[in-house]
A = this chain, B = another copy of it.
Amino acid sequence: MAWNAWGDPAQARELDATQRQLLIDTLGVTVPAPPRADRSAAVLPPAALPEKAHTALAGVVGPEHVRTDDATRLLHLGGKSTPDLLRRRAGDAAQAPDAVLTPGGHDEVQAVLEVCAEHRVAVVPFGGGTSVVGGVEPLRAGFPAVVSLDLRRLDALLDLDEESGTATLQAGLRTPEAEELLGAEGWTLGHFPQSYEYATIGGYAATRSAGQSSAGHGRFDAMVTALKAATPRGTLELGRAPASAAGPDLRQLLLGSEGAFGVLTEVTVRIRRAPAEQRDEAWTFPSFTAGTAAVRELAQRGALPTAIRISDETETFVNAVIAGAAAPEGCLSVVSHEGTGAEIARSVEAVHGVLTAHGGTRLGTPSTPSAPSAPPSSGAPSSSATPSGTADAAAAWRRSRFSGPYLRDTLLDTGVLAETLETAASWSALPALRASVTEALTDSLGGDGPAPVILCHLSHAYPTGASLYFTVAADAGEDPLPRWLAAKRAAGDVVAAAGASITHHHAVGTDHRDWMEAEVGPLGVEMLAAVKRTLDPAGIMNPGKLIPAAAQPLA
């Protein structure tokens, strides 16, 4: 990935002049964004890894796997939130780690943590670097040095248990490579988050990722049957059965632990037979409320298709404009069924009845089920491949489903501040939650000027509730970073006040940790701190993340 933008710069997603002008006019953009700082403009602090620690670490992983050059450090500055990108556009590289380690397997990771604990070096586990919540920012937190622990060499499929339908994967494996290894044997993970091309197996587990096919395949945390983790106190291996009554489920403490307790090195996950066929459909609903009710009924009947998402009116319109297509009336829903022909037919029968009963209308002619399209090796669609009409809305979604983050960089170049945030709550709480988040963002970013554009969709549904995903675009103004931070604060506060979760799949990192006390209560925070003290007594593991500052052990 580029150090200061999403992904591969060659795949950047452009807007045409009409689209660009529409945005500028709608959002009242007056100030052009500052150009992106060149790599040479980034000033890194000197690498401060103490000699003794360096020698000891080189002894564990080999000297060639302790990198202190600026180019490597620059690629481990942190994640890819809009605040991250804004700081890098300004050439800010003050957070560069002192070294980047690339251990070769679990035992080396375990030994690295013991060396770092001894030498008081903070450790930031690094997978794909796709965090949008500050989860991989190398904070020193009072320690003499901080290293980024890049897991890219842990990239093996360790075990495939075809009878049990599970695979044991090393944590640093990226999804396309995991799909290739599994696909060769006829299996799939079925996990397709927007960060698909870069994010890693360990990162998914450590952050409780949700993919676009969560309706059919489940969240990543629900796919995990067993895991292995290195901690400063030793190795943990958890998960002996698909279900157990042997006390609290300690796997659930490592899932979502974001590197603050240790490093997930191996994850055993449920896998599926690669589907024979796939059928995408586009539907419209007269309102977001009607579409939401349809998704709710499917979830509560246990009849969800492999993927389903419903966009609100604004997102429906904006996505059509971006795709160069005419916007359908109402709210667009994209539905995908996967399986054998017979399974798809059963799913179609169950789903169509419910969607129609809630006022849904199918767009275009029915597509013939086809062999599943392989996820693109890069997420960027050709901008010339705009769909010709609304019937192609589903195809446009599939084609561009990993490319949203590229568009954010293009928008920032245009002087448009763009970012996303997400939450989840019970079905009955969703309407008020959506209204209050929209109001908070509008008030904070709009002020006396033009209102921001706020898109919302529902793409992860459960029997008892769902997530809401907001995309915000606003005039970046003179100083976009504090503008966004204030809006994010306002939105987070109303999410917490509504009794909803501060994050459905983006995780906590630095950006959400101030809401963790609202999320789990002060005693819940103490439980997290107690577990951290047990596994990481020196506090070297990803300091400053997950646990609110007041409960963090200090160096």
Task: Write the residues of chain A forming the contact surface with B, with a CB cutoff of 8 angstroms.
Answer: 161, 163-166, 207-210, 219, 221, 225, 231, 233-238, 240-250, 252-258, 270, 296, 300-301, 343, 346, 350, 423-429, 460, 462-467, 499-508, 512, 515-516, 519-521, 523-524, 526-528, 530-531, 533-535, 546
Contacts and interface: CB of A to CB of B under 8 A. Distances in A.
A161 B465 CA distance: 11
Contact of A244 (B296, B464, B504): B504
Given A166-B464, A523-B535, A245 B256 contact: yes
B463 A165 contact: yes
A531 B528 CA distance: 8
A241 B423 contact: yes
Given A165-B463, A535-B527, A256 B247 contact: yes
B523 A231 contact: yes
A425 B460 CA distance: 29
Most buried by B among A164, A236, A240, A350: A240
Dominant SS among interface residues on chain A: mixed
A234 B527 CA distance: 12
Nearest to A424: B241
A242 B530 contact: no
A116 to B, nearest CB: 18
Contact of A250 (B161, B502, B507, B520): B520
Contact of A246 (B253, B460, B520, B521): B520
A249 B249 CA distance: 9
- How many copies the complex holds: the figure is 2
Contacts of A164: 426-429, 464-465
Contacts of A166: 426, 464
A521 B464 contact: no
Contacts of A426: 161, 163-164, 166, 225, 241-242
A244 B221 CA distance: 10
Given A428-B161, A463-B270, A534 B524 contact: no
Nearest to A520: B250
Contacts of A252: 248-249, 252-253
A504 B242 CA distance: 9
Contacts of A500: 240-241
A429 B208 CA distance: 27
The 8 A-B residue pairs whose C-beta atoms are closest, nearest first, are A252-B252, A241-B424, A242-B462, A241-B501, A244-B501, A164-B426, A208-B245, A242-B465
B464 A505 contact: no
B520 A247 contact: yes
Given A240-B519, A248-B254, 20 more contacts: A161-B426, A164-B465, A165-B300, A219-B243, A221-B249, A233-B523, A238-B520, A243-B424, A245-B508, A246-B508, A246-B515, A246-B520, A247-B507, A247-B520, A247-B546, A249-B249, A249-B256, A346-B350, A530-B530, A530-B533
Given A164-B427, A426-B161, A464-B270, A528 B243 contact: no
Nearest to A546: B247
Contacts of A208: 243-245
A423 B240 CA distance: 10
A241 to B, nearest CB: 4
B527 A253 contact: yes
